[in-house]
Structure 1
Amino acid sequence: DVVKAVKGHHRNIGACIDTGHVLRSNEDPIEWVNTLGPRVFALHLKDVAEKQARTHDVIIGQSFLDLVGLFKALKRIGFPADGSISLEYESSPDNPIDDVKQCLVAAEKALAEV
């Protein structure tokens, strides 16, 4: 349990939330952000086609990942200015550029709503 791993330790001990792993576990990344609060230091952005272990990536925000809600939650907890947000997309390994561009557009659009 991530909360148990960081609780009671120095405030510089935190966690990286991988939204793809969270969604594959049929859990809500926004709840994870709210639960971990200021212990969230990094985020891996990924959306999945299905909430199950064996699935594939989709353009972020087109399936289960609520980008606007996630970014609002990060703002609410005071996500650190030196925190990292990484886009992860692995569904088109031969030519991912067009899909990655779509993911970036989705992220920019969601951030504009925060």
Structure 2
Amino acid sequence: MKSIKSFFLALLLLFLQSTDLHAQYVPEAQENFKIGMAGFTYHKFDLDRTLEDLYTNQVKYLCIKDFHLPFNSTDEEIAAFHQKLAAKGVTGYAVGPIYMRTVEDVDNAFSYAKRVGVDLIVGVPNHELLTHINAKVQEYDFKFAIHMHGPDIDLYPDADDIWSHVKDLDPRMGMCLDIGHTARNGKDPVADLEKYKDRIYDMHIKDVTANTKEGKSIEIGRGILDIPAFINMLRKTGYDGVCSLEHERNMDNPFSGIAESIGFFRGVIVGTKSR
């Protein structure tokens, strides 16, 4: 009996040594939407540590923040940045959120995105800049996703507010649906996803402790959000963008919370899948 156990143990070790554990199946592979990471999650960590964590969690999409790739980066530095991402199987799919207070801020953001090689900007612009941004969207053929911040700031608290500002603009002017801030502003992210599906170009996923301003960010699955209903609505609407985790709890050491949140979200993908 001991020899049989040793034989199977040897086979298992051989299998593990010959298998790339980071190339395993991920549940979202069978969905239209993808799982990514908002760069802000790692604002206290350099790019190497960020990519190590993305690799560990088999996350292949990153929304690029300027602390990892500064606005004044040279073409050579941008190329080296993308090489680092590619080595970990990661694609930088967008830039932002970028705060825009002047016309120059807008122009710099579009120039930066073009040099980085993405066609999606997540931004937080002053209202008076929207006409100029609309013209830039048409010039560059980019999508522009306005990020919402719930009750924390007056600028773009939720999807209803963003819609009121973009509904008469170019259809490439839309929103980044932050499901945690949506809930903290007393709104339903599942209903907003269905209502504004044609103008949602990016998404920040998270969970919160309450549907009020006092609600705090928490690991997905521990808060109040109905994640199964949300994933089912992703399927119903056919959302084919990225659902980027923006983890804002224990940001000095967020890694276990990130893994837990992604694991829970993937578990719900499996658990709600029609058989």
Please indicate, yes or no, whether the TM-score normalized by the shorter chain is above 0.5: yes
**Which whole-Å CA distance do the structure 2 matches of 1:53 and 1:18 have between them?**
14
Whether 2:266 is the aligned partner of 1:102: answer no
**Which whole-Å CA distance do the structure 2 matches of 1:72 and 1:11 have between them?**
25
Deviation at 1:57, TM superposition (A): 1.3
**Which whole-Å CA distance do the structure 1 matches of 2:257 and 2:198 have between them?**
31
Identical positions, percent: 27
Whether 2:193 is the aligned partner of 1:33: answer yes
* 1:13-41 Cα distance to aligned partner (Å, 9 max, x none): 22111011111112110011011022211
CA contact (8 A) 1:23 1:29 kept: yes
- Give runs of aligned pairs for residues 59-78 of structure 1, distance below 5 A: 59-78=219-238
Q: Which moved more, 1:52-61 or 1:2-11?
A: 2-11
Superposed CA RMSD in Å reads 1.6
Cα separation, partners in 2 of 1:72 and 1:6, compared to 1, 3 Å = farther
Q: Which amino acid aligns with 2:260?
A: Q
What's the TM-score once normalised by structure 2's chain length? 0.38
Whether 2:216 is the aligned partner of 1:56: answer yes
CA contact (8 A) 2:174 2:201 kept: yes
- Greater share of helix: 2
**Structure with bigger gyration radius:** 2
**Which whole-Å CA distance do the structure 2 matches of 1:78 and 1:6 have between them?**
22
Secondary structure of the equivalent of 1:14?
strand
**Which whole-Å CA distance do the structure 2 matches of 1:78 and 1:9 have between them?**
23
- The match for 2:251 is 93
Asked which structure has the greater RCO (Cα within 8 Å, sep 6+), the reply is 1
- The match for 2:239 is 79
CA contact (8 A) 2:163 2:174 kept: no
Structure 1 unaligned spans of 5+ = none
- The match for 1:6 is 166
Structure 2 unaligned spans of 5+ = 1-160
Deviation at 1:69, TM superposition (A): 1.0
**Which whole-Å CA distance do the structure 1 matches of 2:210 and 2:255 have between them?**
23
CA contact (8 A) 2:208 2:218 kept: yes
